[in-house]
Chains A and B, each alone.
Chain A
Amino acid sequence: MNIHPDAQEGTVHIGGLVVPFYDTVAPQDTRETIVLVHGTGGSAATHFRTLYPMLAARYRVLALDLQTPVEGLTLERYAAQVAAVIQKQVPGTPVHLLGYSLGALVASVAAASQPELVRSLSLVAGWISADNQQLLRNGIWDKLFATDHELLREFVTFMVFGPPFLAGRSKGEVEQLVSSRVFPEGIAQQMELNRRADIGNVLGSIGAPTLVIAGRHDVMVPTRQTQLLYGAIPDARYATIDSGHAIVHERPAQLFQIVNEFITDPRGTPAGLVHDPIFV
């Protein structure tokens, strides 16, 4: 089903691939644009099904489905897809760029290489380069992907959600989370990219005001990692959400509010700020 009633679908051709995007563009709409970049194994519709409509009430929203080449996947190739979509849809106007998980690495590379496109950068559950804990998980994933998708579904569900989130679901809901998990085409290449990606050398050159968002219970990208991201980007702020890695799924409403507050006035808060938790 369509990601949003106002979303128009289009494609851009780049690097021999056809990249689909979903844009709420409307003739009279002068609102600022936010561009959403999904993560490993996801798509615009699966990772942003709740965030997209929430943002669409305030912003022009543009999300794309990253396309994975059969060979030679790099962050740069993904970042080029992001840039191409922005240049096609919103030429000449810098956008608010948000990346989730692997998408955060892609967005970082895009922001570093084409700063003129980016007005602000929101990095959700991103990291710089995989450490031992992440490599171990990635290795298990690899073995299960080759041998046992049933078990892999359970393993990924176990890893991706925060313990409090899982504990709060009914048995049926957890089963549903396991059984609904799919492994789309290109996921193995993406996992391989997860393993070797390293954005350490580009972060210092990111000039856009940046918000780094971490999941407090994230075991796939522990806060140890998101904090390094925050440490590396000069003009970065840091916010934590009580969530596992699946922030977009566990806490989309809170994510929306934090991002919305940030992009309303990206430099309204000083670089280095660590946000207080939101008291409700």
Chain B
Amino acid sequence: MEANTKSRVSSVDVIIIGAGFGGLGMGTKLAREAKHSFLILERGKDVGGTWRDNHYPGAACDVPSHLYSFSFRPNPEWSHTFAPQREILDYMRGVAKEEGLLDRIVFDAEVTDARWDETAGGWRVSAGGVEYFAKNLVTAVGHLSEPKFPSIAGIGDFTGELFHSAQWNDEVDLAGKRVGIIGSGATAIQVLPEIAKVASEVVSFQRSAPYVTPRPDRAYTDAEKGLFRKRPETMQELREEMFWANEERYAQRRNTPSLVSAAAQVALDHLHREIQDPVLREKLTPDYTFGCKRVLKSSDYYPTFLLGHVELETNGIAEVTATGIRTASGQEHELDVIIACTGFEATDLPIAYLLHGREGKPLSDQWATGMQAYATSAVHGFPNLWIINGPNTGLGHNSAVYIAESQIDYIMQALNYRDDQGLVALEVSEEAEEAFMDEVDRLAQGTVWLEGGCKSWYVDARNGRLTTLWPEPAYTFRQVNSAFTPEPYLEQANISLTEPVLAEAH
């Protein structure tokens, strides 16, 4: 009976995978337009994606909240310029509830397989033991959602607590503990100051020193929030100011020495203001071009190293032992807890292994030498598949939500075009996809990522291409990737599938 009801509702126009910013945004647009039936399949027990998983102490966004939120759901209540994780998660829960999405989200539904069914003209999706069918499939599984553990010898031997920052173990009380933090990226710099407040000893294992600029955070006053409520256009003005300020930072990435060095100087001045000890300063000084990796923001990271119980270890990790970490120089650090702040799988998207297109081959095969998509969201051989926050959507400088919204606009137009034209399948041509990627390559020339001697997750080691990042300003992303035109798509006139076949499929 239960299975029966489920399978009846499980045939829809659109299935969205993932209920993070991407999936909720897509769902909101579909719900508001009310033309398509849809379901959101989410493997977790809650919405929020990134902001559900990353609930480590100190977690917050580093793009200002009035910008790092949906343009169509402004929020006058943001407490701070950079809202903490909890507030972002609550905002997303609010969106899901108020946009009527909760009825359409299936939780505990991890998609394990999704196949294009040529005869039925749609996608067969397996999730949580249930089979679903949808004419269109939208993946919004995130690009920073698969924790990446370091491959360090002996990591299985540790007898204390070891976990990844995105799988924070709330059971472990860090008070009075000796804690090792591996990594010095965006997460580590948020985690470290918080851990140092409670732990008895903290060792930060740093492979490469990041550029850290001050984070100009502050609380919004009641007057400001009141004004935002009464005159929402003032929120929009603030959002625009934030957006264009971030866009300006894009110019720094264009490998213009005067701008790169001016921006780097802000970070180095910050370091020099906070850290006087020459040895510590040296260790915290980055050795790569500014902007190569994500530029981090924190005002309390550097001061944390001045605390007596906090140590910065730069000698590289040789192995994890039963009781701690041994460095390459042979020093042993006895630890109770190890927290891996080692980032995420970014160039190799796990979802690609689950998606099977026209010829039954997985997308991961097609992407074996690097991922690519037309207009960042359509892939040849995979009809009616739309990818949010996939290839070339990462920004070094602006809001990921803005990017997702641009893609959602595109996908909405594509879905409506497919309907209006009575097409069964909408599939981009390989030529259009290649031409698009050539254009991305061209745009990437002269950016700091390809020319600054950068070695970071932005560049796919397999083909040396910029596959994760969008090499232009965010505004240009919207210009290029948010308006659907049918020309790049294959002629589908010869396919004469009719709707009744679809209905019978389930």
A contacts, CB < 8 Å to B: 1-5, 49-50, 53-54, 56-57, 164-165, 168, 170, 242, 251-254, 257, 277-280
| 24 A-B interface contacts by CB (under 8 A) | A1-B258, A1-B261, A3-B258, A53-B251, A53-B254, A54-B250, A54-B254, A56-B254, A57-B254, A57-B443, A164-B237, A168-B241, A170-B216, A242-B241, A251-B244, A252-B251, A253-B247, A253-B251, A254-B247, A257-B473, A257-B475, A257-B476, A279-B71, A280-B244
The interface size bin for chain B is 20 to 34
Instruction: Tell me the bound Cα distance from A5 to B315 in angstroms.
Output: 36
Question: Would you call the interface of chain A mostly helix, strand, loop, or mixed?
Answer: loop
Query: In the bound complex, do residue B256 and residue A53 qualify as a contact, i.e. CB atoms below 8 Å apart?
Result: yes
Query: In the bound complex, do residue B244 and residue A254 qualify as a contact, i.e. CB atoms below 8 Å apart?
Result: yes
Q: A165 — nearest CB in chain B belongs to which residue? A: B241
CB neighbours of B38 from chain A (8 A): none
Shortest B451–chain A CB gap in Å is 10
Instruction: Tell me the bound Cα distance from A50 to B244 in angstroms.
Output: 12
- A57-B446, A242-B237 known; A280-B254 Cβ under 8 A: no
Contact partner, A49, options B240, B259, B475, Cβ 8 Å: B259
Instruction: Tell me the bound Cα distance from A164 to B234 in angstroms.
Output: 11
Query: In the bound complex, do residue A5 and residue B248 qualify as a contact, i.e. CB atoms below 8 Å apart?
Result: no
Shortest B480–chain A CB gap in Å is 12
B135 at the interface (CB under 8 A from A): no
CB neighbours of B251 from chain A (8 A): 50, 53-54, 252-253
Query: In the bound complex, do residue A280 and residue B240 qualify as a contact, i.e. CB atoms below 8 Å apart?
Result: yes
Q: B250 — nearest CB in chain A belongs to which residue? A: A253
Name B244-294 residues within 8 Å CB distance of A. 244, 247-248, 250-251, 254-259, 261
Instruction: Tell me the bound Cα distance from A251 to B243 in angstroms.
Output: 10
Query: In the bound complex, do residue B259 and residue A280 qualify as a contact, i.e. CB atoms below 8 Å apart?
Result: no
CB neighbours of A5 from chain B (8 A): 255-257
Q: B71, B244, B254, B446 — which one has the most chain A CB atoms within 10 A of its CB? A: B244
CB neighbours of B255 from chain A (8 A): 5
B55 at the interface (CB under 8 A from A): no
Instruction: Tell me the bound Cα distance from A7 to B66 in angstroms.
Output: 38
B contacts, CB < 8 Å to A: 67, 71, 216, 236-237, 239-241, 243-244, 247-248, 250-251, 254-259, 261, 402, 443, 446, 472-473, 475-476
Name the 6 nearest CB pairs between A and B, nearest first: A253-B247, A53-B256, A1-B258, A280-B243, A253-B248, A254-B244
Query: In the bound complex, do residue A280 and residue B239 qualify as a contact, i.e. CB atoms below 8 Å apart?
Result: yes
Instruction: Tell me the bound Cα distance from A257 to B474 in angstroms.
Output: 11
CB neighbours of A279 from chain B (8 A): 71, 236
Q: A51 — nearest CB in chain B belongs to which residue? A: B251
Instruction: Tell me the bound Cα distance from A258 to B239 in angstroms.
Output: 18
Instruction: Tell me the bound Cα distance from A252 to B256 in angstroms.
Output: 15
- A5-B257, A253-B475 known; A50-B248 Cβ under 8 A: yes
Query: In the bound complex, do residue A1 and residue B248 qualify as a contact, i.e. CB atoms below 8 Å apart?
Result: no
Query: In the bound complex, do residue B247 and residue A2 qualify as a contact, i.e. CB atoms below 8 Å apart?
Result: no
Shortest A74–chain B CB gap in Å is 32
CB neighbours of B67 from chain A (8 A): 280
Contact partner, B258, options A49, A56, A164, Cβ 8 Å: A49
Contacts A3-B258, A53-B256, A257-B247 known; 13 new A-B pairs at CB < 8 A = A1-B261, A2-B257, A2-B258, A4-B256, A4-B258, A5-B257, A53-B254, A56-B254, A242-B237, A242-B240, A252-B251, A257-B476, A280-B475
Instruction: Tell me the bound Cα distance from A57 to B451 in angstroms.
Output: 14
Shortest A275–chain B CB gap in Å is 14
CB neighbours of B254 from chain A (8 A): 53-54, 56-57
CB neighbours of A2 from chain B (8 A): 257-258
CB neighbours of A3 from chain B (8 A): 258
CB neighbours of A57 from chain B (8 A): 254, 443, 446, 472
CB neighbours of A254 from chain B (8 A): 244, 247
Instruction: Tell me the bound Cα distance from A252 to B443 in angstroms.
Output: 20
Q: B71, B258, B472 — which one has the most chain A CB atoms within 10 A of its CB? A: B258
Query: In the bound complex, do residue A1 and residue B241 qualify as a contact, i.e. CB atoms below 8 Å apart?
Result: no
Query: In the bound complex, do residue A1 and residue B473 qualify as a contact, i.e. CB atoms below 8 Å apart?
Result: no
Query: In the bound complex, do residue A253 and residue B473 qualify as a contact, i.e. CB atoms below 8 Å apart?
Result: yes
Q: A254 — nearest CB in chain B belongs to which residue? A: B244
CB neighbours of A53 from chain B (8 A): 251, 254, 256, 259
Instruction: Tell me the bound Cα distance from A53 to B256 in angstroms.
Output: 7
Q: A257 — nearest CB in chain B belongs to which residue? A: B475
Shortest B223–chain A CB gap in Å is 13
Shortest B251–chain A CB gap in Å is 5
Instruction: Tell me the bound Cα distance from A1 to B256 in angstroms.
Output: 10
Q: B261 — nearest CB in chain A belongs to which residue? A: A1
Query: In the bound complex, do residue B257 and residue A280 qualify as a contact, i.e. CB atoms below 8 Å apart?
Result: no
Q: A52 — nearest CB in chain B belongs to which residue? A: B256
CB neighbours of A1 from chain B (8 A): 257-258, 261
Q: A173 — nearest CB in chain B belongs to which residue? A: B216
Shortest A133–chain B CB gap in Å is 24
CB neighbours of B248 from chain A (8 A): 50, 251-253
Shortest A194–chain B CB gap in Å is 27
Instruction: Tell me the bound Cα distance from A164 to B236 in angstroms.
Output: 13
CB neighbours of A277 from chain B (8 A): 240
CB neighbours of A252 from chain B (8 A): 248, 251
CB neighbours of B237 from chain A (8 A): 164, 242
Q: B254 — nearest CB in chain A belongs to which residue? A: A53
CB neighbours of B258 from chain A (8 A): 1-4, 49
Contact partner, B402, options A251, A253, A257, A280, Cβ 8 Å: A280
Shortest A31–chain B CB gap in Å is 12
